[in-house]
Amino acid sequence: MSQGSGIVASVPETPLIACFGEGLVALVPTTAGPLESNRTFQRSLAGAEWNVALAVASAGSGAAVISRVGDDGFGRFLLAELAQHGVDASAVEIDPAAPTGLYVKELSAEGEGPVQSAMHYYRAGSAGSRISPATLRTPAAERVLADAALVHTTGITPALSDGARAAQDELFAERGDRLIGFDVNWRPALWQGREDEARELLGGYLAAADVAQCSAHDAEAVFGTGDPDRLRALFPGPRHLVVTRDDGATAFDGAERADAPAVPSTVIETIGAGDAFAAGFLAGVLSGLSLSGCVARANRIATRALGSTRDHVG
């Protein structure tokens, strides 16, 4: 098993944000319609934590990814994308036996609104699902973690496998001086038959994070409410708690609260906007911006993910 990709991008001299989770290749049809009718697809980098890393780098902050990909063309494509966007990929292990995960988007356009997407995942047995505590103990990963001011992860990672869950538990337990950013990113298909376990687990991660984020939709599904004040009462521990909605966001820094409407923009598709928002908010926190400044920066970056069917800003 390879101990890292060997690709180290030139990153800015800013606090490093390390993103931990599975990278995927997205195959996006060039036109809307059922998959059986589409003949042409464009490939794109995907995966919530990897989307955040690209957006962090686009905001001028240092970004790195800790993960695993297959020793295949899709894996090499993902590594090249990280390098092209200035993200440190040295802590991405290359698995010679398991493939890089992927998913296929199915697009439908109705009326004048945004394109609607359905995702079809092909990630079972992927290299990313074989993330484990050992992934954090490679020399490259240890270097990245030593340099990181903040580690960002999501509720997707612990759903991938027992090993991935154990690794995420270790990140929280052995954070040292690093901040932890956590986004719920509820994926019901990954937790099918384990919903009660998921609610307890994700609630524990959210409560233990320093910068906690969830969409109102995800919070309603997992915790029974998308109301920001009720969520703050349920989760008083994180210094920063951010609740995003289609029409804006509410953020807390301790007892301070900031509300901001969404920035007007052309919306092609909404997938990936939450990841871009998270990146902008995290970069703002590490830059020392005010709470309202963090939300404003997050909103601006999120709009850049709304203008295409890619999952990430470019």
Torsional class of 131: left (φ above 0), alpha (ψ -120 to 50), beta (otherwise):
beta
CB 165 within 8 A of CB 21: no
Give the pair of three-digit tokens for residue 191: 């937790």
Q: Choose the catalytic residue: 95, 253, 275, 311.
A: 275
**Calpha distance 87→98 (Å, rounded):** 23
Measured CA to CA in angstroms, residue 209 lies from 7, 49, 138, 213, 237 at distances of 29, 15, 24, 9, 8
- With CA atoms as reference, report the closest residue to 272 among 45, 59, 82, 97: 45
| Residue 184: CB atoms within 10 Å | 24
Q: What share of the chain is helix, strand, coil (3-state, %, to 5)?
A: 40, 25, 35
| Residue 292: CB atoms within 10 Å | 16
Work out whether the CA dihedral 14, 148, 46, 262 comes out positive or negative.
negative
Give the pair of three-digit tokens for residue 154: 């999501």
Amino acid in the structure at residue 192: Q
Question: Is residue 275 annotated as a catalytic residue, yes or no?
Answer: yes
**Calpha distance 55→86 (Å, rounded):** 10
DSSP state of 21: S
Q: At what angle do helices 291-304 and 48-58 cross, to 10 degrees?
A: 110
Q: Which residues are CB-contacts of 236 (< 8 A; sequence separation ≥ 6)?
A: none
Residues marked as catalytic: 275
